[in-house]
Structure 1
Amino acid sequence: METTDLRRAGLKVTHPRMRILSILEAGDGKHFSAEDIYRKLLESEEDIGLATIYRVLTQFEAAGLVLKHNFEGGQAVYELDRGKHHDHMVDIETGKVIEFTSEEIERLQHEIADRHGYVLEEHSLVLYVRAKKKR
């Protein structure tokens, strides 16, 4: 994303917004909590407070730049809205979030809605998983 993307979203280009946006972009699909972003900024000796990070993330969400997820048992995490639908798996032991897509699951969800007399408009699928025990 560029400064024009922020302007197009109705947001002024500020240093905190650009730095937070760059961290989300560099994450390449990773899901970040506000605290994760804060730690990254501290590592690069940036003086941007946690309250500012939360405010910017809320603005980004309202502008449609990021998606916010509240997975069970964890804190809110954010990812860039790249416009492609995907589902999530959350490792219940580590909190790691894994994105996946499945044409079969998508098809089945539409079939189930149809069987009940509905048209599927939107959905969110989250699988809570645990790593298999090694034998």
Structure 2
Amino acid sequence: MESKIKNVKEQLHSAGFKLTPQREVTLKILLENKNSHLSAEDVFLRVKEEYPEIGLATVYRTLELLSDLQILEKMNFGDGVSRYDFRKTGTKHFNHHLICVKCGKVQEVEDDLLSDVEKIIEHEYGFMIMDHRLTFHGVCRECQLKEDANGSD
């Protein structure tokens, strides 16, 4: 975690910003929950436990800054709530997501499943793809198992 914080600190400094205590605690919360796809409100509630005097606006500004600097990826899974995820370094595309419509669980798929489709689009349409996002909505394994268990009673 410390190396990631140091890396973000360097990115902030090179863009003319400082790693303030408020930004650092926000960053730590995001790192501790990096697979949770937290919303700004989720981040705020967790940050407030460690830094009670922080305001929601400060957390929002920090998340927006980290998004603007392409440290975080701001995502919306169709429910009107923005969530935040660390951008993958060294990859052309972000990870894809599986969203359970029953429990709301978000699962990441880190394989780039669309490389063949991209080649076709680039060749057929002369369109240079810079990024893509892929989100599947369905029912997760756990919810399917619960449905099966409830249906067999």
Shift in alpha-carbon separation, 1:13–1:111, aligned structure 2, 3 A: closer
Give the CA RMSD over aligned residues.
2.2
Query: Which residue among 39, 43, 48 is the counterpart of 2:49?
Result: 43
Paired AA for residue 99 in structure 1? E
- Which residue matches 1:24? 30
Q: Does 1:99 align with 2:117?
A: no
Paired AA for residue 80 in structure 1? F
Which structure has the bigger radius of gyration?
2
- Which residue matches 1:128? 137
Paired AA for residue 117 in structure 1? Y
Q: How does 1:54-133 map to 2 (within 5 A)?
A: 54-83=60-89, 84=91, 85-103=94-112, 105-114=113-122, 116-119=124-127, 121=129, 122-131=131-140, 132=144, 133=147
Contact 1:74–1:95 (CA under 8 A) maintained in structure 2: no
Number of matched residues? 134
> Larger deviation: 36-45 or 47-56?
36-45
Percent identical among aligned pairs is 27
Rounded Cα–Cα distance in structure 1 between residues aligned with 2:21 and 2:116: 45
Bigger helix share:
2
> Larger deviation: 47-56 or 3-12?
3-12
How many Å apart are 1:120 and its aligned residue? 5.1
Q: Does 1:4 align with 2:10?
A: yes
TM-score by length of 1: 0.83
How many Å apart are 1:29 and its aligned residue? 3.2
Unaligned runs of 5+ in 1: none
Shift in alpha-carbon separation, 1:91–1:9, aligned structure 2, 3 A: farther
